[in-house]
């Protein structure tokens, strides 16, 4: 079907290196919340998850693949430098993107830089114990107030809808708490490389459930090879 628009969706597991200068502090806080042992296992799951995802993508024909990345507000040469920097920091997500680009994939601007800045400010305020804004700060845009997350999701969906052309395949790397898929044009065929619901269940078990057996089983499932595609 040459005229079909297809999107491969990866609900990502973020590594410490993905969070920039706040990464270490956020990881320390998370380890205090869930316990050092559980957090160490989670970090191992992150590595294995990305190994499985990388094995899947690097077996594909990647020439012309459109990449849409959580937190990426630029493309072109600047975007490639951002990817290279993230890969050097040790982000498995960005290390995969670097390989995809080397094999002919193309970066697409995915996010609104203003919304990203607001989210980064919120994270910093949360860590400092201050009040945060959960709604967008965009007075130039008319309409009812919406959450910052929803504003980001709308922008991301719009970017995909407008730049993913007929006959092209895209890859969306995005946190599982986002709800972009329902906002996409109905003619875009979405294939979840890893199930979004499974990633959500894993994080809920990691953060809120005392039963180690359940979240370990969910983690092992997320790290399994991608098959059947």
* Residue 67 in domain: yes
Q: What is the pLDDT along the chain (229 residues), one digit of tens a residue?
A: 568 999 999 999 998 887 766 666 777 887 787 888 999 999 999 999 999 999 999 999 999 999 999 999 999 999 999 999 999 999 999 999 999 999 999 999 999 999 999 987 877 776 666 554 444 444 344 444 579 999 999 999 999 999 999 999 999 999 999 999 999 999 999 999 999 999 999 999 999 988 899 999 999 999 999 986 6
* Residue 31 in domain: yes
* Residue 187 in domain: yes
* Residue 227 in domain: no
Torsion sign (Cα): 42, 45, 50, 56: negative
pTM: 0.89
Residue 39 burial (CB < 10 Å; 0-12/13-18/19+)?
middle
Domain count, the chain: 1
Beta strands in the chain (DSSP E): 5-12, 66-69, 106-108, 169-175, 188-192
What are the counts of helices (DSSP H) followed by strands (DSSP E) for the chain? 8, 5
The parent domain of residue 157 ranges over 5-222
């Amino acid at each position: 079907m040459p005229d079909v628009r297809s999107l491969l969706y990866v609900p990502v597991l973020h590594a410490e290196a993905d969070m920039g200068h706040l990464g270490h502090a956020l990881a320390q806080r998370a380890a205090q919340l869930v316990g050092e042992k559980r957090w160490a296992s989670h970090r191992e799951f992150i590595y294995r998850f990305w190994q499985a995802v990388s094995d899947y993508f690097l077996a594909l024909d990647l020439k012309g693949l459109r990449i849409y990345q959580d937190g990426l507000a630029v493309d072109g040469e600047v975007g490639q430098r951002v990817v290279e920097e993230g890969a050097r920091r040790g982000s498995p997500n960005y290390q995969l993107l670097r390989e995809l680009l080397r094999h002919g994939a193309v970066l697409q601007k995915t996010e609104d830089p203003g919304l990203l800045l607001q989210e980064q400010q919120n994270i910093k305020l949360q860590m400092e114990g201050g009040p945060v804004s959960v709604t967008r700060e965009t007075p130039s845009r008319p309409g009812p107030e919406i959450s910052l997350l929803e504003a980001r999701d709308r922008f991301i969906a719009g970017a995909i809808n407008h730049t993913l052309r007929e006959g092209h395949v895209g890859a969306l790397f995005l946190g599982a708490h986002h709800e972009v898929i329902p906002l996409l044009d109905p003619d875009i065929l979405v294939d979840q490389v890893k199930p979004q619901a499974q990633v959500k269940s894993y994080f809920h078990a990691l953060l809120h459930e005392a039963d180690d057996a359940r979240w370990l089983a969910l983690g092992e499932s997320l790290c399994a090879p991608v098959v059947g595609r």
